[in-house]
Amino acid sequence: MSFDTLGLGPAILSSVQASGYTEPTPVQTLAIPAALAGKDLMVSSSTGSGKTAAFVLPALQRIIEARGDNTKRREKGVVHGPRILVLAPTRELAMQVSKACETYGRGLAGLRVATIVGGVPYAAQLKALRGPLDVLIATPGRLLDHLGSGKAVLANVEMFVLDEADRMLDMGFIDDINTIADALPETRQTLMFSATFAGHVGGLAQRLTKEPQRIDIASHTEAHANIEQRLHWADSVSHKNDLLDRLLTERDVDQAVVFTSTQRDADWLADRLAEMGHAVAALHGGMPQGRRNRVLQGLRQRHLRVLVATDVAARGIDVPTITHVINYGLPMKAEDYVHRIGRTGRAGRDGLAVTLAERRDVGMIRRIERFTTQRMPVATIEGLEPKLPAPSAERSGGPREGFGQRPRRPGFGGPRDGQGFGGGRGFGGPRGGGDRGFGGDRGFGDRREGGFAQRPFQSEARHQGGGQQQGFDAPRDENWFEPVRNDAQRPRRDVAGKPFGNKPHGGKGFGPKPFGGNKPFGGKPFGARGGKPQD
C-alpha cells in the first residue's frame, strides 16, 4: 500500500514524498484512514513505528478541509485558538511533533504551529497564543498555566491528540489532562496513543473517547529484529566503567546514547567521558530548555558522538544515526527499557542495545525479560571477562525452592539462628531471586532515584569502611543507633544534684578520683561555670 491510497491531499502527499517516504508503516495504514473518517482512536504501537505521522498527517488534512469550508473560515483579529491540540509528556517529544508538522506541512501555505513547553519564557508563547493558530503542541503543565490565566483558548479544538498517554500518567499529569479535556468541545475527535491501555490509562481513555476504534499494531513483546541485544555482567562499578570505555572505543559506534538512572549520574558520567576525549554531553530534565535544545541540535548535526541521558529526557529523540544504546544504569520500570532501546534501529536501520548489569540488578533484568518475553543474550569482552559467575540460574524465571528451603547466607551483623537480618540478606546486598533483604528484593541503599547504588562517585567511599566514610554496608555495633554511654566515667546524679547512694556531697564519687576540692575536673578548675558540677 502507498500513501496515495490513504485519502491524503496532494499538498500533504508531495511533502511526504519529498521527505523520502514511499510506503506507510502498519500503524499509519490503519490509523490514518480511521482518523480521516472522524473516529476516535486508541492506538498501541511500539516506539519507532511511525506513530507521529499517524496523527500528524490526518491533522493536517483536517486543516486543509477546514480552510476550504467557508463556514469554518475564521475572522481576522479574533482569537480562535488552535484547531488541533497535541499533548506530549516531555519537551523533547513536543519538539519532535512540532518538527513533523513543519516537515509534512511545508506544502500548506500559512500553516501556523506553536509549541508550549516548560523552561521557555512566557512572552513568545503568549504572542503565539494571541495570533492565528492551526496546531498547538504542549506539555500539560505549561498549557494548564496558560489556561488558568485565560490566555489559551481551546473552545474551537476539533482534534485532541494524546501522545504517549501512559507516560503522562506515570509523570502525574492525570489531573492536568482532565482539566484540559474539560475545556475542550464535546464534539471534538480524540486520538490516544499509548504503549498500554491497562489500568488508569484505560480509565482515562474510556472517559475521553466516544466509541473508539482500537488499533494494536505491535506490543512490547515484538522481537525487535533489527536491534541486537546484549547483556554484560560487571563485577563492580570500576569493571562496568571499563566495559563502557571499551564499547565506546569500537569503530562501529557512529553515535551512542548512554542511559543513566539519575540526573547526577548523567552529569558525572558525561564529565568523566569528556575528560577521556569523547565528544559528549548530558541531557536530563534538570537542564534549561535552551541548553537541551542545543544538545539535541549538536547530536543531530553530528557534533556529538555520545549522549548521556535519563529516561524522561530521552523520550522523543529521533536521530537515525544512533547505532548504539548502552544501559549504564537500569530503568525504574521494565516498560522504559523498550523505549530506551527504541532510540536505535530507527527507520529500518540496524542497532545494538547493550545492558551493563551488576549482581544487584538481577531482579530488574528478570522483570525486563518477563515483560518483553525475550532473553538477553549474555556476552563478554575479551580481557574484561567477569570473575564472578553469571547469575543465570537466578534470572531464569524457573521454579525456585520453597520458602523454607532457601539457602541461608550471612546477613546483617553476622548469622542469627542460621539466618541473616531480613531473611539472609544484609543492607545493600545483591538483588534478585532467592532470599530478600530489608525492603523487598533490593538492599536498603539500593534505591534508584537519588539513591546510592547507581552513583559511582559514592560507591567507592561507601565500601572503604572505617572512619566517617563508611556507608550502610559497613559493620556497626548492634546498638549503633544510640550513643554509647559509659556511666563509670562520670557521677550519676538525681534531679536535685545529689549523688545516688548514701555518700555525703563532696565525698568520694564514682571512680578512684575525688570529686570535689581543688582537684581539676576535665582540665578546668571545679566551679569554672558558676560552681555548678558538670554532668
Confidence label for 522 from pLDDT (cuts 50, 70 and 90): low
- What does the pLDDT average to over 497-502? 49
What is the edge-to-edge ordering of all strands in the sheet holding 84-87? 113-116, 135-138, 84-87, 159-163, 189-193, 41-44, 213-216
| Residue 312 sits in the same domain as residue 177 | no
Confidence label for 316 from pLDDT (cuts 50, 70 and 90): low
Examine residue 313 and state whether it is found in any structural domain, yes or no.
yes
Helices 200-208 and 174-182, packing angle to 10 deg: 0
Q: Which of the listed residues 216, 250, 266 is the one where a domain comes to its end?
A: 216
Provide the CATH number for the domain around residue 239.
3.40.50.300
Q: Say if residue 497's pLDDT is above 70.
A: no
Of 7-11, 100-104, 283-287, 410-414, the least confident: 410-414
Examine residue 95 and state whether it is found in any structural domain, yes or no.
yes
Q: Which of the listed residues 351, 372, 393 is the one where a domain comes to its end?
A: 372
| Residue 239 sits in the same domain as residue 209 | no
Q: Output the pLDDT for position 408.
A: 40
Going by the DSSP 8-state scheme, the letter that residue 361 receives in this structure is G
Q: Output the pLDDT for position 19.
A: 84
- Residues contacting residue 240 through CB under 8 Å, at least 6 positions apart: 234, 328, 356, 358, 456
Query: pLDDT tens digit string along 262-287?
Result: 999 999 999 999 999 999 999 998 88
Q: Output the pLDDT for position 286.
A: 85
Q: Say if residue 322's pLDDT is above 60.
A: yes
In angstroms, the CA 26 to CA 314 distance is 24
Examine residue 533 and state whether it is found in any structural domain, yes or no.
no
| Residue 176 sits in the same domain as residue 232 | no
- Block residue for cell numbers 496523527: 55
Pull the grid cell for residue 512. 578512684
Examine residue 423 and state whether it is found in any structural domain, yes or no.
yes
| Residue 212 sits in the same domain as residue 303 | no
| Residue 323 sits in the same domain as residue 181 | no
Q: Say if residue 359's pLDDT is above 80.
A: yes
| Residue 24 sits in the same domain as residue 170 | yes
In angstroms, the CA 117 to CA 125 distance is 9
Q: Output the pLDDT for position 348.
A: 66
Helices 51-68 and 26-36, packing angle to 10 deg: 30
Of 76-85, 107-116, 162-171, the least confident: 76-85
Q: Say if residue 99's pLDDT is above 80.
A: yes
Return the closest-CA partner of residue 300 out of 476, 490, 96: 96
Q: What residues make up the domain containing 451?
A: 402-437+444-457
CB-based burial of residue 173 (10 Å sphere; 0-12 exposed, 13-18 middle, 19+ buried)? buried
Q: Based on the structure, what is the number of domains in the chain? A: 3
Pull the grid cell for residue 112. 501556523
In angstroms, the CA 412 to CA 426 distance is 4
Q: Give the Cα-Cα-Cα angle 374, 376, 380 (nearest 5 degrees).
A: 165
- What does the pLDDT average to over 159-169? 91
- What does the pLDDT average to over 383-395? 74
What's the N-to-C CA distance of the chain in angstroms?
A: 90
| Residue 51 sits in the same domain as residue 196 | yes
Return the closest-CA partner of residue 111 out of 63, 68, 54: 63
Q: Which of the listed residues 158, 190, 216 is the one where a domain comes to its end?
A: 216
Examine residue 284 and state whether it is found in any structural domain, yes or no.
yes
In angstroms, the CA 221 to CA 44 distance is 12
Q: Output the pLDDT for position 298.
A: 92
Confidence label for 107 from pLDDT (cuts 50, 70 and 90): confident
Q: Output the pLDDT for position 420.
A: 40
Examine residue 387 and state whether it is found in any structural domain, yes or no.
no
* Average pLDDT over the chain, rounded to an integer: 76
Q: Output the pLDDT for position 327.
A: 95
Q: Output the pLDDT for position 242.
A: 94
Q: Output the pLDDT for position 112.
A: 92
Of 82-86, 201-205, 525-529, the least confident: 525-529
425 or 228: which leads in pLDDT: 228
Of 35-44, 155-164, 217-226, 451-460, the least confident: 451-460
Examine residue 491 and state whether it is found in any structural domain, yes or no.
no
| Residue 146 sits in the same domain as residue 266 | no
Half-sphere exposure of residue 165: CA atoms within 13 angstroms, side-chain side = 30
Confidence label for 389 from pLDDT (cuts 50, 70 and 90): confident
In angstroms, the CA 207 to CA 198 distance is 14
Q: Say if residue 62's pLDDT is above 50.
A: yes
In angstroms, the CA 10 to CA 7 distance is 10
Please report which helix (H) or strand (E) contains residue 352, including its range.
strand 351-357
| Residue 354 sits in the same domain as residue 237 | yes
| Residue 325 sits in the same domain as residue 412 | no
Q: Strand 84-87 vs strand 135-138: parallel, antiparallel, or unpaired?
A: parallel
Q: Output the pLDDT for position 73.
A: 62
In angstroms, the CA 3 to CA 268 distance is 46
Pull the grid cell for residue 43. 492506538
- Residues contacting residue 284 through CB under 8 Å, at least 6 positions apart: 263, 266, 267, 309, 310, 312, 313
Determine how many CB atoms are found less than 10 A away from the CB of residue 460.
13
Q: Output the pLDDT for position 104.
A: 93
294 or 488: which leads in pLDDT: 294
Q: Say if residue 410's pLDDT is above 60.
A: no
| Residue 321 sits in the same domain as residue 190 | no
Q: Output the pLDDT for position 77.
A: 65
| Residue 185 sits in the same domain as residue 254 | no
Query: pLDDT tens digit string along 413-458?
Result: 433 444 444 333 444 444 444 333 334 344 333 434 333 334 444 4
Q: CA torsion, points 222, 223, 229, 233, in degrees to nearest 10? A: 70
Examine residue 192 and state whether it is found in any structural domain, yes or no.
yes
